[in-house]
Structure 1
Amino acid sequence: MTQNSLDPGDQIPAARRIQAQTLTPEAFAPYGHVARPGLGDVKAIRNDRVHLSKSETAFSHQPDAKEVKLDFYEVAPETHQLVASVIERHNLSSQMFSPMNAARWLVVIWPDGPARAPLAFVAGPQDVVTYAPGLWHHGIAAIDRPACFTSLMWKKGDIAVDTEFLTLDRAWGIGWPDGGPEGLSA
């Protein structure tokens, strides 16, 4: 169990619990970008043995963030529900997460700021998610099984500037539908 996992006996008030919805590019569009195979400009190449999907994505950054960095996250799965107590944002850059070996995973954001309720989405193994610069979000969270992700982000090289962390006054409980990735659209 990870430090963010909630035992069934622990309590978060009902008013501080939300249920994650299935991630769609349309639902997430105001907060960033979702790319997946089959979206964008799709064509067959190499004698129809490869299908190429060219996805437009905004991967913006401020001029101070001059170095693009590739990070790898090996993530233990959450159990029962995610307890969101620490959130983060990156004011100088978008941040892109690409699953390398994952089932379902959570995308939890605070589009109206940390004083308001979050939105939560269940992403699938085919979903690449890019957070807009300055968007408050929870760190990467796997469900169903351990997962591995890559992250791309422009950085200045100063952790205090590249990533801002905030401990919430009160935690949020994030739940998700039972079942595996089969129910997610591809």
Structure 2
Amino acid sequence: MKLLQPRPLTREAFAPFGQVIELEGATQFAINGGTTQRFHDLARVDTLAEGGRPLISLFRAQPRAQPVRLTLMERHPLGSQAFLPLSAQPYLVVVAPDHGGRPGPLQAFVTCGWQGVNYDRNVWHHPLLALEAVCDFIVVDRGGEGCNLEEWPLAEPTGIF
């Protein structure tokens, strides 16, 4: 089994795959008569392909046994997919560039817990990887007609930690 070493999730390192949703470095301004601070335009939500619509869901991820074993990657060809954690529990993010319609070399990131991610359309990523506890996420992705899920089993399982 190959081993993959996760690195800290940063905007710069994750940019080829989408956006990191975090407050640090965000455009912000006061609204509602100064009682609320708005952190503006944190991710590029892309759901309108082929008549799609924004879909908001809650995902509850069970913690994975360690070492985490990666066997499958997925992507969404018709829209982006954003994950906003509802707790400060760190979780893993695994992505890969596209190599001719299949995942290329895997890259792993570990979040600070409160960071969210928005996978751009067609970005290969692993399903949710909670680490220490059950984690809830608000998920914004595409609803509507058309096939918006492709899965690819990994030829060689990869372990993390």
**Does the alignment pair 1:129 with 2:131?**
no
- Secondary structure, counterpart of 2:55 in structure 1: strand
Which aligned segments of 4 or more residues in structure 1 are displaced greater than 6 angstroms?
Answer: none
Sequence identity percentage: 26
Letter in 2 for 1:58: R
Structure 1 residue 50 displacement after superposition? 4.1
- Ranges in structure 1 where 5+ consecutive residues have no aligned partner: 1-11, 176-186
Structure 1 residue 44 displacement after superposition? 4.3
Structure 1 residue 65 displacement after superposition? 4.4
Change (3 A) 1:58 1:47: closer
Structure 1 residue 80 displacement after superposition? 1.8
By percentage of residues, which structure has more strand? 2
Using the size of structure 2 for normalisation, the TM-score is 0.87
Task: Find the partner of 2:8 among 19, 22, 34.
Answer: 22
Instruction: Report if aligned partners of 1:82, 1:174 keep a CA contact under 8 Å in 2.
Output: yes
> Larger RCO: Structure 1 or Structure 2 (Cα < 8 Å, ≥ 6 residues apart)?
2
Task: Find the partner of 2:157 among 141, 156, 171.
Answer: 171
Match runs of 1:147-166 below 5 Å: 147-158=135-146, 161-166=147-152
How many angstroms apart in 1 are the aligned matches of 2:103 and 2:31? 48
- Ranges in structure 2 where 5+ consecutive residues have no aligned partner: none
Using the size of structure 1 for normalisation, the TM-score is 0.76
Q: Structure 1, residues 50-101: CA drift from partner, whole Å, max 9, x if none? A: 4331134221245314222222211111232221101110000011001012
Instruction: Report if aligned partners of 2:78, 2:121 keep a CA contact under 8 Å in 1.
Output: yes
Change (3 A) 1:44 1:20: same
Number of residue pairs matched by the alignment: 159
Instruction: Report if aligned partners of 1:65, 1:154 keep a CA contact under 8 Å in 2.
Output: no
